[in-house]
Amino acid sequence: MLRVGLTGGIASGKSEVARRLAERGAVLVDADVLAREAVAPGSEGLAEVVAAFGPGIVADDGGLDRAALGAIVFADPARREVLNAIVHPRVRARAAEIVERAGSQDPRAVVVQDIPLLVETGQAGNFDLVVVVDAPDDVRVARLAARNGMPEAEARARMAAQATREERLAAADHVLENTGTVEELRAAVDRLWDGVLVPAAARSAQAGSSA
């Protein structure tokens, strides 16, 4: 099994890369999906979040009001750490279960863990390879404005809450530049899959069988 950590700043194009890797055959473990499951209605995780942040972060349907919670945690790093301490252990435990199952089913599996905060949480060393999707800050700000109507100040605040571009690049084994079209990005993913990930997974499986 080849374990790949995939990360990138907000609006870098990481989600498109993850989709394409899944299309090519990767086992995708999406930290955002697992984080939503961790605080689903009726869950222990949601109960802990409400206890920490108050009933104002509960939506009318009983689920988490992400906008209300986001306004709190993106404005206050200490509060963001409180949230992370609730959610991250649950996400990691569930991800470990998925990874273990994938490896037992196929020794040549390419398991890609899509983790927005991979660098921030010090997880780079947990993977055989780290892939970073990269785009300049100004490009990402423009994408957030076009995609979400997000004001520049809010976009830059969200970016400032994550690792810097330089910190992510320093952790990367492979960088996918995303300043062009979606088609160009998907082609770059295909080259990475065919030229790097599949051969590395085969070598890993061979090493495991001969150990």
Q: Quickly state the pLDDT bin for 208 (edges 50, 70, 90).
A: low
| Residues in Cβ contact with 45 at an 8 Å cutoff, skipping those fewer than 6 apart | 38, 39, 86, 87, 90
Q: Locate 64 and state its tokens.
A: 């988490």
Helix/strand/coil for 64:
strand
Query: Percent of the chain beyond pLDDT 70?
Result: 98
The residue ranking higher by pLDDT, 28 or 205, is 28
Q: Average per-residue pLDDT in the chain?
A: 93
| CA–CA distance, 189 with 180 (Å, rounded to integer) | 13
Mean pLDDT of 188-201: 97
- pLDDT confidence of residue 31: 87
- pLDDT confidence of residue 163: 93
State the first-to-last Cα distance of the chain, in angstroms, to the nearest integer. 14
| CA–CA distance, 154 with 144 (Å, rounded to integer) | 10
| Residues in Cβ contact with 24 at an 8 Å cutoff, skipping those fewer than 6 apart | 189, 190, 193
Mean pLDDT of 61-78: 90
Q: Locate 128 and state its tokens.
A: 């055989």
Mean pLDDT of 104-133: 93
| Residues in Cβ contact with 202 at an 8 Å cutoff, skipping those fewer than 6 apart | 108
pTM, rounded to two decimals? 0.82
Q: How many CA atoms lie within 13 A of 93 on its CB side?
A: 8
3-state helix, strand, coil in the chain (%, to 5): 60, 15, 25
Mean pLDDT of 182-202: 96
Mean pLDDT of 8-18: 95
| CA–CA distance, 24 with 34 (Å, rounded to integer) | 22
